[in-house]
Amino acid sequence: MSDFLEGSIEAIAAALRDGSTTSVALVREAEDNHARRGAVLGAYKVRDPERFMAEARAADAAFAAGLDFGPLQGIPVSVKDLYGVSGYPTCAGTPAPLPEKWTREGPVVGALRRSLAPVSGKTHTVEFAFGGIGTNAHWGTPRNPWDAAAHRVPGGSSAGAGVSLAEGSALIALGSDTAGSVRVPASFTGAVGVKTSFGRWSVDGVVPLSPSLDTAGVLTRDVADATLAFAAIDPLTNMPAAALLAGLGELELADIRIGICEPHFEGCDPGVAEGVQAALDALAKGGAQVTAIALPEIDEAMEIFLRGGLAAPEFAAFINNEMLDRKATLDPNVAARFESMEAVPAIDYLTRRDRLAHLAGSINERMRAVNVIVGPTVPITPPTVEAVADIDGYRAHNMPALRNTQSANTLQLCAVTIPVALDAAGMPMGLQIMAPLDEDEYALAAALAFERALGTARERLGPPPLCT
């Protein structure tokens, strides 16, 4: 078996172009990895190996004809089962496929199609993406590959996304993020996660959770891979991916003003705050300007989020208006809260929306003193499936899992999480980097600079125990 999939996307893309490998060879390696690990990890809701291979052959045929459609040509990508993908059903974590209109591809998947990136399959999601832990009562829960002894959750709602990367069946994983659904699974599984600015990437062709907050994003194994994926998908990028990567890579650590989000360090599980602080100490030693910054907007946004924010009433409206036939089969953890979600008065919803808009403007002004604000991506260690099996256990972990990530959504920021350490339980933890709205390129540039100083996930953490 080859080991091309162990390389960076940049290196693999070069090998595809000089004939050192082919997309067909990459897909065969991805299929071998899935055969060895897939039954244990359970990343995918549905796969079509024949379609996967046919798309690889199409990418190779284009290379042979001298056609180059960018850095993702021939690169295996997994897609969250919230996105419409031609030829695949869309279940969105529910017991049965949704109506055909939800299988139609939107602009994000369309960008992958134009790049001739083979789709490895559709990964598991929390039902209708409503949850940050990663469990699914209908289809089971993917296994976090970092614990060989116990079945720990992978994070949600893009539950299978990070697991597909660890498994080695994909090099990029498409996810969506409404309160942390890209960043939580990335942090829990030792991956890089990118939450784009609201409105930057279209969410057409994606089953909605909260139209006021939904964003599309990607998970990858390192920041350079994330930057190439961002460049290939982003509708505003007007330069070749390699040029964007090179340009972002010019940002020096000493030029970055880092603001510490102190509330995100509070109440963390053992080893989480310590691991992130050690990474920040290393960045400061490398020349970064690190300082604490007062962010009262963070606390107020969290208080609104705990009352359901915008997502809960918008989700309830979507179910009642478009998915009423699925209401009776909702996950018990969601169904138990549904009555309170749909009972939110219109005046409360509008008041929350207006207040969050004000807070977003306020934090944007406050962030003029720094370039990015940082803290632990997730304050808790991934719990075991048993620990969240009942409603009380689920609630005790779900909101804490989303505590730090929801800020970027409710306050209209973009964000990147990078893996920096293992906590006291031996599980990965992420450092979250948040930048103002529409400064996605700067967030990626800062993440690249941080990764250069700290090392990649593989260098810093080693491989997951279930993927060696």
Q: Report in angstroms the alpha-carbon separations of 440 from 14, 158, 410.
A: 26, 20, 16
Tell me the chain's radius of gyration from C-alpha atoms.
20
158 is catalytic: no
Q: Report in angstroms the alpha-carbon separations of 86 from 45, 91, 379.
A: 15, 13, 37
Structure tokens at 29: 């390696």
Distance CA 415, CA 241 (A): 20
pLDDT at 294: 95
Residue 401's closest CA among 215, 208, 184?
Answer: 184
pLDDT value at 28 more than 80 = yes
Domains in the chain, ordered, with CATH?
4-467 (3.90.1300.10)
pLDDT value at 441 more than 50 = yes
User: Which regions of 341-458 does DSSP assign to beta strands (E)?
Assistant: 372-376, 414-422, 428-435
98, containing H or E segment? none
Catalytic pick from 78, 115, 158, 181?
181
Catalytic pick from 120, 157, 158, 164?
157
CA 397 to chain CA mean position, Å? 19
Distance CA 287, CA 423 (A): 25
pLDDT at 336: 85
pLDDT value at 440 more than 90 = yes
Give the DSSP letter string of 235-285.
SS--S-HHHHHHHHTT--GGG-EEEE-GGGGTTPPTTHHHHHHHHHHHHHH
pLDDT value at 40 more than 50 = yes
Q: Cα angle at 219 between 213 and 223, to 5 degrees?
A: 115
Residue 73's closest CA among 123, 10, 166, 145?
Answer: 10
Structure tokens at 357: 């808009």
Structure tokens at 207: 């089953």
Distance CA 186, CA 220 (A): 8
Contacts of 286 (CB under 8 A, 6+ apart): 253, 254, 453
Q: Is the entire prediction scored with pTM above 0.95? A: yes
Q: Could you tell me the end-to-end alpha-carbon distance of the chain, in angstroms, rounded to an integer? A: 14
Structure-token match 């190779």, residue found: 60
pLDDT at 206: 98
Q: Cα angle at 336 between 332 and 341, to 5 degrees?
A: 125
Contacts of 49 (CB under 8 A, 6+ apart): 31
Residues 307-340: tens digit of each pLDDT: 999 999 999 999 999 999 999 999 998 888 898 9
pLDDT at 143: 98
Contact 190, 172 (CB under 8 A): no
pLDDT value at 3 more than 80 = no
Catalytic pick from 80, 195, 197, 407?
80
Distance CA 109, CA 332 (A): 31
157 is catalytic: yes
Residues 85-99: tens digit of each pLDDT: 999 999 999 999 999
Distance CA 398, CA 377 (A): 14
Distance CA 349, CA 177 (A): 21
Name the average pLDDT for the chain.
96
CA 68 to chain CA mean position, Å? 28
pLDDT value at 221 more than 50 = yes
Residues 353-400: tens digit of each pLDDT: 999 999 999 999 999 999 999 999 999 999 999 999 999 999 999 999
Longest dimension (CA), the chain: 62
Q: Cα angle at 444 between 185 and 205, to 5 degrees?
A: 55
Residues 267-296: tens digit of each pLDDT: 999 999 999 999 999 999 999 999 999 999
pLDDT value at 436 more than 80 = yes
In this prediction, residue 238 has a pLDDT band, given cuts at 50, 70 and 90, of confident
Coil, strand or helix at 331: coil
Quick one: average pLDDT of 452-459? 95
pLDDT value at 1 more than 50 = no
181 is catalytic: yes
Strand partners, 401: none
**Percentage of residues in the chain with pLDDT exceeding 70?**
99
User: What ranges in 126-271 are assigned the alpha helix state H?
Assistant: 161-167, 183-189, 223-233, 241-248
Structure tokens at 425: 């339980």
pLDDT at 2: 54
Residues 146-195: tens digit of each pLDDT: 999 999 999 999 999 999 999 999 999 999 999 999 999 999 999 999 99
Distance CA 226, CA 212 (A): 25
Distance CA 116, CA 120 (A): 12
pLDDT at 239: 82
Contact 81, 122 (CB under 8 A): yes
Distance CA 216, CA 225 (A): 17
**Position 199: which residue type?**
G
Distance CA 179, CA 354 (A): 18
Q: Report in angstroms the alpha-carbon separations of 369 from 118, 290, 442.
A: 43, 11, 15
